[in-house]
Chain A
Amino acid sequence: MKLSNIALRNITRNSRRSMLSIVAIAVAAMSITLLFSFLAGMKNDLRYNLQTYYTGAIRVRNSEYNRYEQLHPMHLAVDNASQLAQQLASLSGVKGVSPRLQFPGMVFKGEEDYTLAGVGVDFDRESAYENLPDHLADGRIPREGSREALLGVGLAQKIGLSVGDTLTVLSTTRYRGSNAMTFTVSGLVNFPVGGMNDTCMLIPLSVAQYFLRMGDAVTEILLKTDPGADLDTVTRSVKETVTSASQGPLVAQNWTEIKTSYSFYEMANTTYMFIALFFFILGSTVIVNTTMMVIYERMKEIGTMAALGMTGGQLVRLFFTEALFLSLAGAFAGVVAGIAITLPLASVGINFSNSMQGVSMEISNVLYPRLNLRSTAFVFFYAVAVASLSSLIPSRRVSRINPVEALRSI
Chain B
Amino acid sequence: MKQFILILGLVCAAAVYGWAMDAQEIITRMEENQTHDTSRMEGKMIIQDRFGQRTSSFIVWAKGNDKTMVEFTSSGERGQKVLRTENQIYLYYPDASELIRLQGAALRESLLGSDVSYEDMTGNKGFLADYKVSLAGEESVDGNACYVVNLDAISRDVAYPKQKMWVDKKLFVMRKAEQYALSGRLLKVMDVKETMRVDGKIFPSDMTISDQLKRNSQTEFIIDKAEIGIKLPPGIFSLENLSW
Contacts and interface: CB of A to CB of B under 8 A. Distances in A.
Interface of A: 68, 73, 75-76, 106, 108, 111, 113, 166, 168, 170, 172-173, 175-182, 211, 213
A111 B103 contact: yes
B112 A180 contact: no
A172 B93 CA distance: 13
A175 B76 contact: yes
Given A168-B97, A178-B113, A213 B103 contact: no
B96 A113 contact: no
Given A106-B106, A108-B102, A113-B106, A177 B77 contact: yes
Given A73-B51, A175-B76, A181-B93, 15 more contacts: A68-B50, A75-B51, A108-B101, A108-B102, A166-B98, A168-B96, A168-B97, A173-B77, A175-B77, A176-B51, A176-B112, A177-B113, A181-B95, A181-B96, A182-B95
B123 to A, nearest CB: 20
B38 interface: no
Contacts of B50: 68
A170 B95 CA distance: 10
A369 B168 CA distance: 74
Contacts of A181: 93, 95-96
Contact of A172 (B97, B101, B106, B113): B113
9 nearest interchain CB pairs?
A180-B93, A175-B76, A180-B96, A182-B97, A181-B95, A176-B113, A177-B77, A168-B96, A177-B112
Contacts of B93: 170, 178-181
A108 B100 contact: yes
Interface in B203-217: none
B97 A211 contact: no
A166 B113 contact: no
A259 to B, nearest CB: 22
A170 B118 CA distance: 14
26 contacts: A106-B109, A108-B100, A108-B106, A111-B103, A166-B97, A166-B98, A168-B97, A170-B91, A170-B93, A170-B100, A172-B113, A175-B76, A175-B77, A176-B51, A176-B113, A177-B76, A177-B77, A177-B113, A178-B77, A178-B80, A178-B113, A179-B95, A180-B93, A180-B100, A181-B95, A182-B95
A289 to B, nearest CB: 63
Contacts of A173: 76-77
Contacts of B104: 111, 113
A213 B76 contact: yes
B54 interface: yes
A166 B96 CA distance: 10
A87 B91 CA distance: 41
Contacts of B95: 179-182, 211
Interface string B34-64: 0000000000000101110010100000000
B77 A168 contact: no
